Amino acid sequence: MTAKRLRFARQLTQIISVILFFVLALLTYRGVESLIPVDLYVLLNPLVAFTAMIASRTVIAVMLLAFAAIVFGFVFGRAWCGWLCPLGAILDWFSPREWRTPETHRNWKAIKYVLLLMIIFAALLGNLSLLIFDPITILNRTVIAAVLPMFNVILVGVESALNPVAPMQPIFNWIEQSFRGTVLPAQQTFYQLGWMLALFFVGLIGLNWIVPRFWCRYLCVLGAVYGLQAKISWLRPRVVNDCSYCAVCMNACPTGAIVVTKDGLKVDPTECIACMDCVTECPESVIAINFSTADRRLPKAQSRTYSSFNLSRRHFIVSALASISSVALFRTAPSAQYHDAWLVRPPGAQADDFLSKCIRCSECIKVCPTGGLQPSLFESGLEGIWSPILVSRIGYCDYGCNACGQICPTDAIPPLTLEQKRNEIIGIAYIDRDRCIPWANYRTCVVCEEMCPVPQKAVRLEQVDVVTPEGKPIRLQRPHVVYDLCIGCGICEYQCPLEGPSAIRVYAPTKLPAIE
């Protein structure tokens, strides 16, 4: 195959990969039957797979799929980045139209390796916080908590506005009847600081204007994994002819993997994403990207490959110290001393080891049918940023659903059966009697009791004859939470008709002192 065809094949593969990524994200709903696992991109991610196993000290069977990615890396080097990575593809598409920026920040290339080492050291210490910088979790999170909800606002807005237009109705009807509650959220979802995720993502794209694929060159930790493997990978760029140093290839390279030195042209396999641009552009067929092993036998002095990064003792020491001190610093956050009242985790997720298993991939957040699972901010400190929490005012844990435990790729949320999940204490509801309508305003309400799905009712009614502040005697029902029955599903908080915060709120589970 000619280089041009290979380049075309690559561009096509990128398009397919991005489409597949979005299709799988859309297909991530409760009870989906999909031939391809909907969390494929997470499962095939060697970085999250192995660090999650290290941090949690468990073997996560399904994530052993990531061995395939390791093999891929040793064969194809960083071809993942140029051909398959959906984030890389999006960065390619949103680039300045004309760029001729030779490498200017060569030293920065080490950043991604230091970050990678930090992730590995932190994982050894049981921490996974830095996985928020894994490209797949970034894309997942942005798509799930920003792009798709935004899309739904637009869709519903257009539908509402054009609802009076009769010819449009069958189209909208078809969309709603076919996709609402599955591919489209049952109700609009609302995520904390979705705009912040979107801005971060736009920022990543914006970095392309400093230098193309800025993210991939300097920051991408998954790229660093493949970069290290590329040092010995089979597929790699090779200088196969002498040339006239026109530097067309150097300017064409989107990752700065080609340099012209006093010894001639040199290529860097750890940066080469096998995009084929240099091979296509070179007027003299000097560079090839292939599986040939001929040049390996060259003596080192004549080698036309170089590596912009070599792991040194300094890198090890710096990243180890950075990891140890960051993890130690996390342990000085207030959240490490006492349990935040609003740190309500998904059902079955045990607080003590949850952060050592959660890879911040946001799959649970997408699959939650009520939109109650949210990427958290600082409820568990900076350490737990973007890990999932249940915010019952935004959405409750449906009594008939156990989807989050089924989707979680690392079992950070355990795969409970529906029966098990129904008995799992997620949190405890408390009534604010100063705000609760029957308590504070002497009016009927008790939506919370009506909604409580626990068969014995964890919210119970007390019928009382009281005198209102105006002096009128009335008979009234007031709600009470039965501590031993409440599972903290939060439907009471969600449905409370009070404006603003609910008068019944779900707190993180606490243990009452035992009665002597």
Partner 1 sequence: MLSRRDFLKLVSSLSLSFLSGCLLRVENPSVIPVMTATPIPPASGQPYLTIARGNNPATITRAAIDALGGMSKFVQAGNDVIIKPNICNSYNPPEYASTTNPDVVAELVRMCLEAGAKRVRVMDQGFSGTQAEAYKRSGIKDAVEKAGGQMEIMPSAKYVKVDFPATSRDLQSQHIYQDILKADVLINVPIAKHHGSAQVTLAMKNLMGVILNRNNIHLALNQRIADLSTVIKPTLNVIDAYRVLTSHGPTGGSLDYVMMGNAVIASHDPVATDGYATQLFFKMKPQDIGYIKIGAEMGLGRYDFDQLNVKEVSS
Binding residues for partner 1, rule: CB under 8 A, are 30-31, 153-154, 156-161, 163-164, 172, 176-177, 180-182, 186-188, 369-370, 396, 398-401, 437, 443-447, 449-457, 461, 477, 491, 495-497
Q: Which structure tokens are listed for 221?
A: 């930790």
Exposure string over 233-269, b if 16+ CB within 10 A, otherwise e: bebbbbbeeebeeeebbbebbbbbbbbeeeeebbbbb
The answer to whether the CB of 477 falls within 8 A of the CB of 505 is: no
Of 292 and 444, the one with the shorter C-beta distance to partner 1 is 444
Judged by beta carbon, residue 163 or residue 468, the one nearer partner 1 is 163
Kindly list the distances between the CA atom of residue 276 and the CA atoms of 69, 199, 223, 231, 273, in Å, as whole numbers in the listed order: 21, 31, 18, 19, 8
Q: Which is nearer to partner 1, 173 or 312 (CB)?
A: 173
CB of 289 to partner 1, least distance (A): 41
Q: How far apart are CA 516 and CA 503, in angstroms?
A: 32
| Euclidean distance between CA atoms 397 and 409, whole angstroms | 20
Q: Closest distance between partner 1 and the C-beta of residue 219, in Å?
A: 33
Compare residues 286 and 491 and give the one whose CB is closer to partner 1.
491
Minimum Å distance from CB 418 to partner 1? 8
219 vs 368 by CB, closer to partner 1: 368
- The residue among 261 and 456 lying less far from partner 1, judged by its C-beta, is 456
We find the least distance from the C-beta atom of residue 450 to partner 1, in angstroms, to be 5
Cβ closest to partner 1, residue 32 vs residue 62: 32
Q: How far is the CB of 493 from partner 1 (least distance, A)?
A: 12
Shortest Cβ 473–partner 1 spacing (Å) = 18
Residue 118 Cβ, how far from partner 1 at the closest point, in Å? 41
DSSP bridge pairs for 373: 390
Q: Cβ of residue 370: shortest distance to partner 1, in angstroms?
A: 8
Which residue number, 283 or 400, has a Cβ lying nearer to partner 1?
400
Could you give the CA distance from residue 116 to residue 53 in angstroms, rounded to a whole number? 16
Contact 42, 363 (CB under 8 A): yes
The encoded tokens of residue 91 equal 């960065």
DSSP 408: -
In the bound complex, what is the minimum distance in angstroms from residue 182's beta carbon to partner 1?
6
CB of 193 to partner 1, least distance (A): 20
* Three-state secondary-structure class, residue 430: strand
CB of 442 to partner 1, least distance (A): 12
Nearer to partner 1, 187 or 280 (CB): 187
Long-range contacts of the stretch 19-26 (C-beta < 8 A, 24+) = 20/86, 21/86, 21/139, 21/143, 22/143, 25/140, 25/143, 25/144, 25/148, 25/366, 26/148, 26/183
Residue ranges of E strands in 153-204: none
Q: Which is nearer to partner 1, 124 or 454 (CB)?
A: 454
Strand partners, 260: 265
How many helices, marked H, and strands, marked E, lie in the chain?
24, 10
Closer to partner 1 by CB, 178 or 510: give it. Answer: 178
On whether the CB atoms of residues 422 and 489 are closer than 8 A, the answer is: no
Q: Would you say 138 or 426 has its CB closer to partner 1? A: 426
CA 249 to CA 221: how far, in whole Å?
A: 26
Q: What angle do CA 95, 97, 102 make, to 5 degrees?
A: 75
Phi-psi region of 362 (alpha: psi -120 to 50; beta: other; left: phi over 0): left
Concatenated DSSP letters of 239-264: E-S------HHHHH-TT--EEEETTE
- The distance between the two most distant Cα atoms of the chain, rounded to a whole number of Å, is 101
Minimum gap (Å) between residue 150 Cβ and partner 1: 11
